[in-house]
Amino acid sequence: MDAKARIKVRLTPGFARVKGTLLKHGIATVCEEALCPNIGECWGSGTATFMLMGDVCTRGCRFCYVRKGRPAPLDPSEPLRVARAARELGLRYVTLTSVTRDDLPDGGASHFAATVKALKREIPGVVVEALIPDFRGSLEALRIVVDSGVDVLAHNIETVRRLTPLVRDPRASYERSLWVLREAKRLRPRLVTKSSILVGLGETMEEVVEAMMDLREAGVDILVISQYLRPSRRQAPVARYYSMDDFKRLEREGYRLGFAYVLAHPMARTSYKAWEAYQAAVRALSNAG
């Protein structure tokens, strides 16, 4: 059974309101494009993760449902449309993500930055998280996003070191993903950083713990661990379904390693419980001086 068959969405009034607002402003969400299992809960409470720069990705990771191909040109009106939609929805925490745009000179970093700045102008006090691609290892592109005023910088390592060449696009790299997170922290030491690991792709528990250690050594504050669900028969098969005991063990290990917030659950995704995770990370950074 594929992931699409597993996800049941309850059409609450809040869900319909978010859907209507997104349609009115012509905005895509990763909630829909990636078949997020939490879409009903999040949309029902009036939150969403906005996906910038279209819905066609230039990379082809074997676990991802997002369409691959040649993306359309950027829409310069998108940052303001996203900001106005978020304001209309009354959001206090906005998560931005995007397809990977290797076709753009800066990988879309300037577009991310423009959206962050538009949100800050339109919604005083808003907290903005940016879940970014690796920008092909460009420090200048990364600096553009870090300097935009973003509050949380997220970049997903996705899987363990051994499986990276097998399940991620060949242009992706385990070491480069660690570099993105490490450099973001170096550029702004008080910036909250975040990453995610999908389990069930064929890794061992020991490899997951090793990846967690690598992320912590890169200064990552928030860790999300979730079960891989095969979106369709075109993606990699599930090698293993983790038990709740497995997730509890990984959660305990994450806190032992020093993460400020660990969300380990079969249905967890990077932007799920984002506000709670951010608050915990800010407290931890404050306590650390």
- Output the tens digit of pLDDT for each of the chain's 289 residues: 343 334 444 444 555 566 566 666 566 555 444 444 544 455 444 456 888 999 899 999 999 888 899 999 999 999 999 999 999 888 888 999 999 999 999 999 999 999 999 999 999 999 999 999 999 999 999 999 999 999 999 999 999 999 999 999 999 999 999 999 999 999 999 999 999 999 999 999 999 999 999 999 999 999 999 999 998 889 999 999 999 999 999 999 999 999 999 999 998 877 778 889 999 999 999 998 7
Cβ within 8 Å of residue 287, ≥6 positions away: none
Cα dihedral 192, 171, 174, 7, rounded to 10, equals: 70
Q: Which phi and psi angles does 177 have, rounded to 5°?
A: -60, -40
Predicted local confidence at residue 8, as pLDDT: 46
Predicted local confidence at residue 19, as pLDDT: 59
Which fold would CATH assign to domain 3-287? TIM Barrel (3.20.20)
**Helix locations, the chain, DSSP H:** 3-6, 13-25, 30-33, 39-44, 78-88, 109-122, 139-146, 164-167, 174-187, 205-217, 244-257, 274-287
Which residues does residue 79 pair with via DSSP β-bridges, in sequence order? none
Helices 13-25 & 78-88 angle (0-180, nearest 10): 160
Radius of gyration of the chain (CA): 18
- Residue boundaries of the structural domains of the chain: 3-287
Predicted local confidence at residue 26, as pLDDT: 64
CA distance 164 to 172: 8
Predicted local confidence at residue 45, as pLDDT: 45
Q: Are strands 49-52 and 152-154 parallel, antiparallel or unpaired?
A: unpaired
Q: Which two tokens stand for residue 142?
A: 């990364």
